[in-house]
Structure 1
Amino acid sequence: MMNDQNISTLMAEVLSDSSGAITPPIVQTSLFSFDTYKDFEDRMAGRTNQAIYTRIQNPTVAAFEGLMAKAEHGEAAVGFASGIAAISSTLLAFLKPGDRIACVEHVYPDTYRFMERILRPFGVEISYHSAAEFENNEDLLAGVGIAFLESPSSVIFTPLNLPKVAQLAKRHGTLTMIDNSWASPVFQRPLTLGIDIVIHSASKYISGHSDTVAGVVVSSQPHIARIRDLTLSLLGAKLAPFEAFLLTRGLRTLNARMMQHQATANLFVDRLAAVPQVVKINSPGANEVPGLTGRSGLISIEFNDNVDIPKFCDALKHFRLGVSWGGFESLILPARVGLAQAGEKNSMQAFGVSPNLVRMSLGLEDAEDLWADFMSALSQSAT
């Protein structure tokens, strides 16, 4: 848990200058007018910061961004229309042809696709490395412009010693970015550990209701100003006021929800250790690496060959088959389906995971009901 003010307490600070509304009002407008020529001139010259156009700034979006900056202990934040918009816009704001990226292996599949299908053809060099390489190879980041991290990584959920990686990156002048969607700012605050830029798919735990697609980036004022000036403004993947309103709603309950997700995940991890069909459990727990203070509800399980994966998935009653995660409902994603994409070959080999691996998002339903459902489906899928 956060040792200082939690996100619910921070809500009052963000609203302190408003009209007294309990939640930030939805300012559903595309543009903002000016009272005088001088006001308009000053804003266009950058001498004031009055809202001008919702593609660039909006009061409802600003309220959410203010909350996220405080939650992650950053100076500023900028919202986006999706998690991949936040990732791609942040990378593009700091890259040029010929630059090098060192990326953690088992990265979010669409981040991998963006790097391979967009950045590499534009002349950006990309290499993929294990957590052990990032932590122990002191020369790994020599000549590298950006280290793109996840802790834990996607699907396999390998955690990183972020303070150690940050120290090595600073030695080589490498800018560090991390996708912190798995832990949320409740269980991990990378900026306090030395990382430069934090990115979230806010569609996940930040929203918490499976009704919003959004992203957000938190960092120093200069870094956020660069992203706003270049890629938010010119690529246009802005966060809409209504989505920002929903995300602010989600932040109100983030601490409480993460505690429930953790409790259910702890129950599953403890009991899965005694299930003979389970080969491996991927789910880092509290204090496994410095700065990680809790376990989220997103885990993965590798089964042995005695489990019929399609039959197991179809036998589940409370778990639904689907992508994404972080909402009330529990979800399951078999790797052999979830990592594939139309037109791609060898997806499983590219991401380096077993075809017997399934990812489970443990939701907010009763933990014992979820466990009974899991075991019942497992018994029906034995071969």
Structure 2
Amino acid sequence: MPLQPTELSYIINELAEDREHYFNAVAPPIVQTSNFVFKKVADLRKAFEDEMGGYLYSRGLNPTVDILRKKLAALDGAEDCLVFNNGAAAIFAAVLANVKSGDHIISVRNPYTWAQRTFDVILSRFGITTTYVDGRDIKNFEAARQPNTTFIYLESPNSWTFELQPIKQVAALAKQHNIITLIDNSYCTPLYQRPIEMGIDLAMQTATKYIGGHSDTLGGVLSGSHQQMKKIFDREYLNVGSGIQPFNAWLLIRGLRTLPARLQRITNTTREVIQFLKSHPRIDQVIFPLDESFSQYALAKEQMSGACGLITFTIKDGTMESITKFCESLKHFMMAVSWGGHESLILPKCAGIQPADFDANNIQHQYIRLYTGLEEPQYLVNDLQQALNRE
């Protein structure tokens, strides 16, 4: 169930904000300190014994970060949450905390680049193997499971072609065999998809995107049970030193204030952009999970209450030259990676392919990913139109 408006308003504006502790200021302070003072040896000893139980050193807990942690855990419907410097760090810590030498991982195919490098480059050095599956069918997870499978990694939807996994079915399979599950929920955010409620153990999102919303800070969110967060905090979080800094946490708190309004505006603009693209004679295909033409539309409607602003499309004359000309003809869409900020973006798949390796018959080489930001819809449609009309 989506968060109710009153609950969402409370989380964003009030939860964890003990304003009487900081001069009744409306905005929380940035507690920019490296360490914290103790008057009694016993209190310092207690902090040494359990660094997650209080403030000792800002590599671990920090008051500004704690406000953010509590809000993000509540948004996910989770017991607890840790916030990292970026999404890749959150994925790395979650996986590393839950596997050991000789284990086996099941991952969706073509996962986020840094997730795949964790599996293939780092964990493989310790005898941990990974099987990549087409995650659209639960049978593929069942077939890939081995006696030593301890971890399943999901991205639903992914960030290019938006394939979904049947989240409840995967969670049920994993629990039956004591397998830990992690999902990258960056595409939907917890406002539009609730993985913890569907039985997933660990929900991750890249706060760099919609949570921050202004393309001015990085962050990674990992939510789950308090037991899981404590295990990760005591080992991977503290040892690697990948926790977010107070100023960046403060920027993410600021971004949270407008999250529902931004997502609603982006969603409305996306509908208008999709309508234009589908009507233009040069557009061959539009991929969007909540469009009725999407192959998994029924599952998307079941699992997701919204889809925000990421679209993939192809143009009919999908050569590298025509794709390049289209992207470079845009005046207001910026060519860049990521998404979720105030600015609209374009990203051609061929930018990551050497010209000699480009295959015009390979549909994946033709993909153009578009993100709609906070600009006026007609402003964006006009830009797309003038670029598409340049034959």
Contact 1:299 1:360 in 2 (8 A): yes
Query: Which residue identity lines up with residue 12 of structure 1 in the other structure?
Result: E
Query: Which residue pairs with 2:122 in the alignment?
Result: 118
Contact 1:7 1:67 in 2 (8 A): no
Query: Which residue pairs with 2:339 in the alignment?
Result: 325
Query: Which residue pairs with 2:185 in the alignment?
Result: 180
Which is further off, 139-148 or 29-38? 139-148
SS of the equivalent of 2:389 reads helix
SS of the equivalent of 1:355 reads helix
Query: Which residue pairs with 2:205 in the alignment?
Result: 200
Query: Which residue identity lines up with residue 269 of structure 1 in the other structure?
Result: I
Question: What is the Cα deviation at residue 36 of structure 1?
Answer: 1.1
Q: Distance in 2 between matches of 1:264 and 1:231?
A: 40
Q: Distance in 1 between matches of 2:146 and 2:52?
A: 41
Contact 1:146 1:174 in 2 (8 A): yes
Query: Which residue pairs with 2:274 in the alignment?
Result: 269
2:305 aligned residue (281, 290, 293)? 293
Query: Does residue 71 of structure 2 align to residue 67 of structure 1?
Result: yes
Contact 1:97 1:123 in 2 (8 A): yes
Contact 1:141 1:147 in 2 (8 A): no
Question: What is the Cα deviation at residue 208 of structure 1?
Answer: 0.2
Q: Cα RMSD (Å) of the superposition?
A: 2.3
Q: Distance in 1 between matches of 2:160 and 2:169?
A: 23
Query: Which residue identity lines up with residue 200 of structure 2 in the other structure?
Result: I
Contact 2:332 2:380 in 1 (8 A): yes
Which is further off, 29-38 or 103-112? 103-112
Query: Does residue 349 of structure 2 align to residue 335 of structure 1?
Result: yes
Q: Distance in 2 between matches of 1:353 and 1:118?
A: 31
Alignment of 1:226-245 (within 5 A): 226-245=231-250
Question: What is the Cα deviation at residue 38 of structure 1?
Answer: 1.6
Query: Which residue pairs with 2:159 in the alignment?
Result: 154
Q: Distance in 1 between matches of 2:328 and 2:380?
A: 15
Query: Which residue identity lines up with residue 205 of structure 2 in the other structure?
Result: H
Contact 1:72 1:218 in 2 (8 A): yes
Contact 2:358 2:365 in 1 (8 A): no
SS of the equivalent of 1:210 reads coil
Contact 2:59 2:238 in 1 (8 A): yes
Query: Does residue 44 of structure 2 align to residue 32 of structure 1?
Result: no
Contact 1:334 1:357 in 2 (8 A): yes
Query: Which residue pairs with 1:304 in the alignment?
Result: 316
Question: What is the Cα deviation at residue 179 of structure 1?
Answer: 0.7
Query: Which residue identity lines up with residue 108 of structure 1 in the other structure?
Result: Y
Query: Which residue identity lines up with residue 337 of structure 2 in the other structure?
Result: V
Contact 1:103 1:149 in 2 (8 A): yes
Query: Does residue 7 of structure 2 align to residue 2 of structure 1?
Result: no
Q: Distance in 2 between matches of 1:180 and 1:373?
A: 30
**5+ residue gaps in structure 1?**
none
Change (3 A) 1:126 1:284: same
1:13 aligned residue (12, 15, 37)? 15
Listed one character per residue, the Cα deviations across residues 120-149 of structure 1 (whole Å, up to 9, x for unaligned) are 233211111112233665444343211100
Query: Which residue pairs with 2:294 in the alignment?
Result: none
Query: Which residue pairs with 2:252 in the alignment?
Result: 247
Question: What is the Cα deviation at residue 112 of structure 1?
Answer: 1.8
Question: What is the Cα deviation at residue 280 of structure 1?
Answer: 2.3
Identity of aligned residues (%): 35
Which is further off, 303-312 or 365-374? 303-312
Query: Which residue pairs with 1:283 in the alignment?
Result: 288
Which is further off, 125-134 or 148-157? 125-134
TM value normalised by structure 2: 0.90
Change (3 A) 1:80 1:306: closer
Question: What is the Cα deviation at residue 9 of structure 1?
Answer: 2.0
Contact 1:301 1:357 in 2 (8 A): yes
Contact 1:319 1:331 in 2 (8 A): yes
SS of the equivalent of 2:27 reads coil
Which is further off, 327-336 or 170-179? 170-179
Query: Which residue identity lines up with residue 312 of structure 1 in the other structure?
Result: F
Which is further off, 120-129 or 197-206? 120-129
Change (3 A) 1:124 1:304: farther
Contact 1:204 1:324 in 2 (8 A): yes
Which is further off, 269-278 or 1-10? 1-10
Which is further off, 279-288 or 230-239? 279-288
Question: What is the Cα deviation at residue 172 of structure 1?
Answer: 2.0
SS of the equivalent of 1:14 reads coil
Query: Which residue pairs with 1:314 in the alignment?
Result: 328
Query: Does residue 110 of structure 2 align to residue 109 of structure 1?
Result: no
Question: What is the Cα deviation at residue 189 of structure 1?
Answer: 1.5
Q: Distance in 2 between matches of 1:255 and 1:379?
A: 35
SS of the equivalent of 1:224 reads helix
Query: Does residue 382 of structure 2 align to residue 372 of structure 1?
Result: yes
Q: Distance in 1 between matches of 2:52 and 2:315?
A: 59
Listed one character per residue, the Cα deviations across residues 280-319 of structure 1 (whole Å, up to 9, x for unaligned) are 2221128724230011101111223356011001100110
Query: Which residue identity lines up with residue 360 of structure 1 in the other structure?
Result: L
Change (3 A) 1:326 1:347: farther
Contact 1:135 1:161 in 2 (8 A): no
Q: Distance in 1 between matches of 2:51 and 2:107?
A: 39
Question: What is the Cα deviation at residue 158 of structure 1?
Answer: 1.2
